[in-house]
Amino acid sequence: MTAGAAIAGPDGSLRCPWALSAAEYVTYHDQEWGHPVHGDDALYERLSLEAFQSGLSWITILRRRPAFRAAFAGFRISRVAQFTDADRERLLADAGIIRNRAKIDATLANARVLAEWSPGELDALIWSHAPDPVDRPVPKTLSDVPAVTPESTALSKALKRRGLRFVGPTTAYALMQACGLVDDHLADCVARRP
């Protein structure tokens, strides 16, 4: 077996190796990761969670996602944009989420910026950076999957120019993977789109 290649899970189906390291990953991998996500609030949630994941394992975020959703009003931009200093202090004291001051502040600031945008503007901006799948080789092993691409670098710059924070090229690429702008499921993976 090639290192980093798709491996059989408990049901015998081949999956990306990372998807089998924790039970929650199988569902996330099969039903969410790499599936197209649209809508400003849904993309704001994914962008925020990817920022919170920075420097941590994704499983930490995935397991705390219900608490994040409760703490951040379902990631509805219009609601989070109205959070007060008291809400910020509440978030900093919430043991159910990652209590990183810089990440919380960025999530709140990003909501305030996005609340000024037209409906659909975040969706359009993010999806305008989706690469042509014809130009992308299908990854056979995990070593074929990049951490940063020219498109994620361009997306990061575009988001920063518009005032968003905690949106570096690696976070932007993780967002692109999670939201289906790219399909980084391995060639033999059961979840790879045809």
Give catalytic residues, as residue numbers: 28, 50, 58
At 121, which amino acid appears? E
First to last CA, the chain: 24
Contact 34, 186 (CB under 8 A): no
Contacts of 17 (CB under 8 A, 6+ apart): 4, 5, 6, 7, 142
- For 34, residues 6+ apart whose C-beta sits below 8 A from its C-beta are 177, 178, 180, 182, 183, 184, 185, 191, 192, 193
